[in-house]
A and B are shown apart, each in its own frame.
Chain A
């Protein structure tokens, strides 16, 4: 591990991974509570459409993906909030549509296809120093929002109707959480890729839920699991020449299964 960390790219990858792992773990707590896992899948895959729009327009693909994903998240939230079409149906429409848009636009730009694998499966080892600062800023803002509105997001997750009746501004907070989710997903694309980021938004919290007896414990285990997955996954990725996203998510899943077994043994 120390040999791996002697490289500059490894230090940048680890710094980025730690920041995003922290954001994803705290966000995953609310994703699990509000059963938003499928929204995560929808937004992350919609990001491909945003990447493609960025390519076509000649602007930063990640910035375009961020704007596009936030827009998709808001539209999903708006349509499902009206109650006429269920949330999973809405996502089921937007997820393939946005992804198909991405594939169609990228196919018009043959020179860009080689970078597609990086977006789909992540390539955190290519992170530049400036990216670390940008992602650090995004992670700080996301964590700040989640901390500032923790009790309100918790109330919404447990009982949205009662929160509304108590005077909690439910609608603005729903859109704020969707925005944080979309921004964190796009920021995590370099870490684990479009295909795998949704897993990173669920597995750490699910691991915490499997073993922890309290919410604080669940959050602590989720953060520990995310950080261990990032550090261990990056090292394994370097050691065995694997895509960083795949090794991080596989390690994260291994921790989850270990936690499920440990939780069952403890409850016996």
Chain B
């Protein structure tokens, strides 16, 4: 079964086409990067995959089911998607701990009126250990560096025991070394746990060193394949030479 299937997806925001017949697939257990210039529709596509936006046309499936089904406990309580976006900005000095942030990854599974229990805390602690942040569990989240905070957000996503990890520009604001370390960690997690990872990113060079596949999106899919093939394609140069107009409020990328 394909992990992610995007088939002829169209999306318009205020009469401006954001996605024009985008189609691609993501294989289970693979690490795929969605690259493209500003306004290419990367974040919009991720939000469609999360079920937060509905495409006007086309079909989207996550492990064979329409997106958004995972968000309902009535649908069986499974929660196959972990999501990490750009950096979280808390009020300076707000005393929420790293362990408390990681535990939030269980909240979607728990649903309303259910408090986290011992199992949830154990899963969150395990997720922190997997990203190498276990020894920081009691520290304030806001005291961590940007790279450490992103590791904790990965742990939060992992605490929900996802099969698919969606990352939306997760390294924005990080220095080059921290970006490389971040992608190396994601790559390790993908191999160790058989996770499927789809990551929207601007870091074309850095992310290409770690992924199995690149999908070049510029409102439609311009190229897809092994990193070497896509990086050598003329479509990449065209996409970045003639950037798309700004991509509206529906797309944070």
Contacts and interface: CB of A to CB of B under 8 A. Distances in A.
Interface residues of A, number: 30
A165 B81 contact: yes
A83 B250 CA distance: 10
Interface in B174-221: none
A159 B107 contact: no
B107 A165 contact: no
B179 to A, nearest CB: 20
A209 interface: yes
Interface string A7-42: 000000000000000000000000011010000000
Interface in A112-155: 148-149, 151-152, 154-155
A165 B52 contact: yes
A218 B97 CA distance: 12
Interface string A153-165: 0110011011111
B242 interface: no
B95 A214 contact: yes
Given A32-B91, A165-B81, A217-B95, A152 B107 contact: yes
B104 A148 contact: no
A166 B83 contact: yes
B50 to A, nearest CB: 5
A148 B110 CA distance: 13
A243 B71 CA distance: 51
A215 B83 contact: no
A167 B71 contact: yes
B172 to A, nearest CB: 13
A158 B87 CA distance: 11
Interface of A: 32-33, 35, 83-84, 148-149, 151-152, 154-155, 158-159, 161-169, 209-210, 212-215, 217-218
Contacts of B249: 83-84
B96 A161 contact: no
Contacts of B90: 33, 158
Interface residues of B, number: 37
Interface of B: 50, 52, 70-73, 79, 81, 83-85, 88, 90-91, 93-97, 100-101, 104-105, 107-108, 110-113, 115-116, 140, 153, 156, 160, 166, 249
Contacts of A149: 112
B166 to A, nearest CB: 8
B79 A162 contact: no
Contacts of B96: 154, 158, 215
Nearest to A82: B249
A155 B160 CA distance: 14
Contacts of A168: 107-108
Q: Is the interface of A mostly helix, strand, loop or mixed?
A: helix
Contacts of A83: 249
A181 B110 CA distance: 26
A46 B88 CA distance: 31
A155 B94 contact: no
A32 B113 contact: no
Contact of A158 (B72, B73, B84, B88): B88
A217 B140 CA distance: 13
A166 B95 contact: no
Contacts of A151: 104, 107, 110, 115-116
A24 B116 CA distance: 25
A155 B83 CA distance: 14
A162 B94 contact: no
Contacts of A159: 85, 88, 104, 153
A210 B96 CA distance: 13
Given A35-B91, A154-B100, 9 more contacts: A32-B94, A164-B52, A165-B52, A165-B81, A166-B105, A166-B107, A167-B108, A209-B93, A215-B95
